[in-house]
Every structure is written in C-alpha cells, then in structure tokens.
Amino acid sequence: MTFRLATFGELRLVDTRGEPVGFPVKGLLLICYLLATNREDVSRGNAARMLWESEDHSISLVNLRKTISRVLIRQAEIGVEFLKFTPTAISLDRSALDSDLAELARIEPDSPIKRIDSLVRLLRHVFLESLEFQTAAFSEWIEQERARHTGLLLRSVEESLSPAATVDDRALIKEAVLCLLRINPDGENIHQLLVDAYEADGEVDALRKIFERRKSAIWGTLSLTPDAHALEVARRVYEKRYPEARPSVATNRLAIPPDTAVDPLAKQLIPRVALLPPADIGRISSPSAMAELLIQDITIGLSAARTLRVVAPFTSAQISRHADKMALIKQHSISYFLDTRLSGGDETSLFAQLIHIANDEVVWAERFSLKSSELPIQRREIARRVAAGVVNEVQRNELAREYFEQNPAAYHHYLLGQHYLQNLTLPDIRRARREFRAALQESQYFAPALSGLARTHSREWLLTARGDIEHLRLSETHANHAIAAGQDLAAGYRELGVTKLFLGDFDESAAALQLAETLSPHYADVIADHADTLVHASLPAQGLEKIEQAIDLNPLCPDLYHWTAAGANYYLGRYEQALASVARMQNGEPAGRLSAASWAMLGNQKKARSFVRKVRESYPEFDVDEWLSIVPIKEQWQKDHYREGLLKAGF
C-alpha cells in the first residue's frame, strides 16, 4: 500500500514519503464517502446527485462522466486503481490505500481511554475542513459525520470520568474536553465535563483561565472605550429599575482595557463585507421580501464582529438595485460581497454566493430555505459562512444566536415588524408594533422584539409632534426589558439611548449608546444615533466625527445621517458644509428650518426666505420659541445659536 488519504483537515492524497499526489477532487470525495460509509459501492445516479446540484439530472450525469474520465486517466498515470466503474455503479478497492478513516474504524470499542486517545489525535482537525463549495446533500452528509465523531468522543469522555482514573488518564480526558469545547463551545454538557475534569485535579485556577481566554476570544479587542463615568451612568439607568435583571454587561461581560486607541491602519486592514439582498423585492408576504429582511437582520447581527466591517443594510440594498453594481462595490472599497437571488420553481429558496472582489473568486455558494420554520437556522448558517469565508474562524458569540433559534415563529414576526419600521408612517409603525407583540406572544423574553417595540413608541412620539410623553415612558420600559433579556445585544441599549435623548437625559443617552456601540462597533445606525445624541448634548465636533464614521460604514445612507451632519456643521459655524449635507438628502424638506437658518447666517436673505416660505406651507403656525422648547438641546448657547439663525431667516 503506497498511498494514504487524509480527510481530517485538508483533503489530500499523499505517497509513502508524505508528498501530495495530484488527483481529481471529486474522485477523492467519492473515495472518502465510500470509506466513511463502509459501502461496497454507490450508484452513478446517487453519486451525481451528491456531487453536483442541478435541476436537470442529466447535466449532473454528464459532469460525472467527465470526472470518471479524468479519474481513469490519473489512475493510469500513477499505476493504481482506487475507484472501479461499471455502467451503473462506482466501487472502491480498499486494499489500494490507507486512510485516517481506517484509524477511526479500528478504534478499540471496549476501552474508552484508548478511544479518546485515537479520537483526540484525529479531531485536532475538522473532518473535510478545507471544503467550502459543496452541494446541500454532500454538506449535510459532512455535518452528520462531524456530529458522529464529536458524539463518539463525548460518550467516551463521559464513560471515562471517575475518581479512579489515573493522572495520565485525567490529562488525556482534559485534552479531550478542550477539543470538544473548541468544536462546540456552546454545549452546556461540555462545560460541565470541563468543570468535572479540572475539579478532579483541583485545578480551579486553570479552569478559570480557560474561560477567561474563551471570553477574550469571543469579544475580541474592543476599539471603543466608554469611560468609567459613562459605564456607571448606563448601569444606573437600567439596574435601578430592574434589580432582578442578570448581572450587568457593563460590569461582568465587558473587560475594557484603559486608554485603548483606534489604530487607523488596523481599521483599513479589516475586510469590508456587503450582504446584498435580491434585487427584485415584491410584496411583504413574498419570498423576495422575506429574503431581504433576512439579509438585513444578518447584516445587523454581523456588525458585532470585530474581524470584519459590514456595510449597512440601506447601502447594500441600494447597491443591489443599481444598474452598475460592481462599480459601486469597488467605489466603496468593499472586499467581499454576498450576492443573493431567489431560486426554485416556487422561489422558496435563496441562492447565495460569497465573492472575493480582488480575484473575483467565489469563496462559497449555497442554497438556503426561506420557509418560516427554518429562518433562524438559515440566519445562523449564512452568518457563520460569511464570517468563516472572510476570517477563517467563526466568532461563535457574535449573533447571540439563542435569541433567534428558540422560536422560529417569533423570529418570523420580528422580521415583519422590522419591515414595517422602515416606513415613517403611523399605520406602518402600528403594524410593526402588532408584529413585535405577536413575537412576544410566541417568546416572552425575545430581546430583539422588545427593542423593536421600544422603537415603535419613540417613533410614534416623533410622528405625533412630540405630544404624548407616555410613548417615551413605554419606550424606556421596553428598552430596559430588552437589556434585561439580551444584555449582549446592542439594540436594547440603542433604544434606551434614543429615548433618553428625547427625554432630555443627555448623559444617560450618550452612555447607553456608547455601550451599544461597544457591543456592535460596526453597526452604522447605532453610531448615527450616538452622533445625533452628541450633537444635541452640545458636543457638535464629536457628533460630526461620529456621523462621518457612520456614513463611512453606510455610504448610501438614509437622509437622517446627512441631517445629523448638517446640524453638527451648523452648530460649528460651518454653514456651507451644513447646506452641502442637506443637499445630499433625497428629501431635504424635513431640514427646511436648518437650511433657512444656514442661509441666513451666510447673509443670503433671498435663499433663507425661500426656505421659510416652504416651511410655512407645511407648518403655518410654526413658532421659534415653542419649537426650541420641544427640541432636546443641552446648553443654552446652542439654543441661542439656532434661535439667531431662525430669526434672521424671518421666522
């Protein structure tokens, strides 16, 4: 036997010297499948279905015939016949090669410790780890095999744990549990096994360090650092109202190093990723609309990752529908993009492929179901594949996935609520509220729905001319509930920060939004809300810097971003820049008062009065002092500055 097939880690064929031997990859996959399943043969039809995904089976059979031809040529070149072919089937000559899968088959069944020793050596690498682009059928089989290997190791460890185990055995058991922790870091039984294994040797300190390293790996290096006062204010905001909530994220989960500076070069090196929804969006109940909502939600979830920067959903949607999509992608320095389209006769599946711009390489491609019962699973899988394709290692905690997987029906209502929230009309805001309430009927502590409910009340307060303060109280209550239910999610802190701004609690607003930004440092909408708070808190220079950061993440951003930038520029005396920001809005009418004040401060009364007339058409009873009594502004100089511009304009 002169050849060996390695399947754990990189799939490769090597000779007796360990040198790689070239061989068609599809042929190696057939060898691997026959070895792992211990089958005598596989039919040509089944092999074609497993290796090629095509609605026309005849195309798959043609591809199989081409592969067989390449395999036969290569086997003749190296003088070994691994695979044998008949008109109907494919079989394997097991005597022609050795494999690490054969080691798996030879594991001693009656000795758990010996099983552990063999499995730990094999599972240092993941089964077929290097394979990315495979059919759904083959990918499912690979996952089943991986789960089988992990389950075998888990059972072996459980059988081996006993006080009578030797020192060497306990050392091997600890190595095995650490291997399981690496493969499945969220498994509760694995955590308990880890505790048992280390407590048996009295190594509690070592165990603590393992969990500290795991926490550090999950959270990464935080580039944004709220000061101690900000953290204390944020803690006071929610803990004094909800003492029954779990220990604060601010105190227990975020180990924030002092004096951490943002390295501009490091920021440039972080790859930028855009997740593009399907271009043709239908009615809300259609698969295309549900696909867009799913991609939007995954994008927001990935904004928590430290190892990639995600383009905001608004910009991604604009890129997807643009006639020259690639030009926009290159213009905004995007490193990778997820291209998506609906497929299948009934359009109930989403085809997605992750593309690396630099070399036009398809990193992976896959189909995902859009059935409502499977949406949470697809959310996790798409996000995992995007992260893995870009950084080769998934940040397991970045999506706080437990909130989305416990109840698919709740997640479906949540996505519908998010859709309605995109429209600034009272009917849609109230439709969104109904969907979020329906989600909470399915899952009482579903944190994203609680955050959405908070936003519906703050939005309604805005749309009803800031009339009913009860909406803000309800928004604050729901935001605090969202924080208590999902302390690792940015949305609750974001809603609390926005509501606190409307209530005039500027310091608490800034502190809550800083926490939200710390949890999701690339979430453009959070950064934009934080910028707005800083402007209203009489810190326009800081607000301008932050809104520019948000626009960088979301270059085709909503009008609100440019409106915030315009306000910051006005308060800094940069009136021309303020007007330029308003000009970038698709609908500059809401910023009419600001435009009038800016033109007046520049001495152009003709332009100023034209904007005054436009504002009067919509708000004939507009009164400067009454308006300024409602707008949340912290310091008097800022109100005086705005009043001066409005009065000069002719209000």
Q: In this predicted model, what pLDDT tens digit does every residue of 597-610 receive, in sequence order?
A: 999 999 999 999 99
Task: Give a yes or no: residue 60 inside a domain.
Answer: yes
pLDDT at 306: 64
Total domains in the fold of the chain = 3
Q: Model confidence at 111, in pLDDT bands (50, 70, 90)? A: confident
Q: Strands, DSSP E only, in 123-275?
A: 272-275
* Tens digits of residue pLDDT in 229-241: 434 444 444 344 3
70 and 21 within one domain:
yes
83 and 21 within one domain:
yes
pLDDT at 198: 60
Host domain of residue 633: 558-651
**Distance in angstroms (rounded) separating the CA atoms of residues 159 and 148:** 17
Mean pLDDT on 418-439: 84
Task: Give a yes or no: residue 612 inside a domain.
Answer: yes
Q: How many CB atoms lie within 10 A of CB 86?
A: 10
Domain closes at, from 219, 238, 255: 219
pLDDT(583) > 90: yes
134 and 99 within one domain:
no
* Tens digits of residue pLDDT in 189-207: 666 676 666 655 555 455 4
Domain closes at, from 192, 219, 246: 219
Task: Give a yes or no: residue 157 inside a domain.
Answer: yes
pLDDT at 410: 83
Cβ-Cβ contacts under 8 Å for 206 (sequence gap 6 or more): 198
Domain closes at, from 106, 137, 169: 106
What percentage of the chain carries pLDDT values higher than 90?
Answer: 25
148 and 76 within one domain:
no
Continuous H helices in 220-283? 228-239, 249-252, 264-269
77 and 31 within one domain:
yes
Identify which of 425-439, 474-488, 595-609 has the greatest average pLDDT.
595-609
Strand pairing of 336-343 and 272-275?
Answer: parallel
Task: Give a yes or no: residue 376 inside a domain.
Answer: no
pLDDT at 234: 42
Task: Give a yes or no: residue 402 inside a domain.
Answer: no
Q: Tokens at residue 28, please?
A: 């190696």
Mean pLDDT on 322-351: 76
174 and 137 within one domain:
yes
121 and 102 within one domain:
no
Mean pLDDT of the chain: 77
Walk across the sheet containing 336-343 and list its strands.
Answer: 309-310, 272-275, 336-343, 349-356, 361-369
208 and 149 within one domain:
yes
Mean pLDDT on 471-497: 86
155 and 87 within one domain:
no
Task: Give a yes or no: residue 461 inside a domain.
Answer: no
Q: How far is CA 22 from CA 76, 131, 264, in A?
A: 13, 16, 43
584 and 562 within one domain:
yes
**Distance in angstroms (rounded) separating the CA atoms of residues 14 and 22:** 9
Task: Give a yes or no: residue 250 inside a domain.
Answer: no
214 and 122 within one domain:
yes
Pick 491 or 183 by higher pLDDT: 491
| CATH for 80 | 1.10.10
Task: Give a yes or no: residue 610 inside a domain.
Answer: yes
Q: Model confidence at 392, in pLDDT bands (50, 70, 90)? A: very low
Q: Tokens at residue 238, please?
A: 């929610």
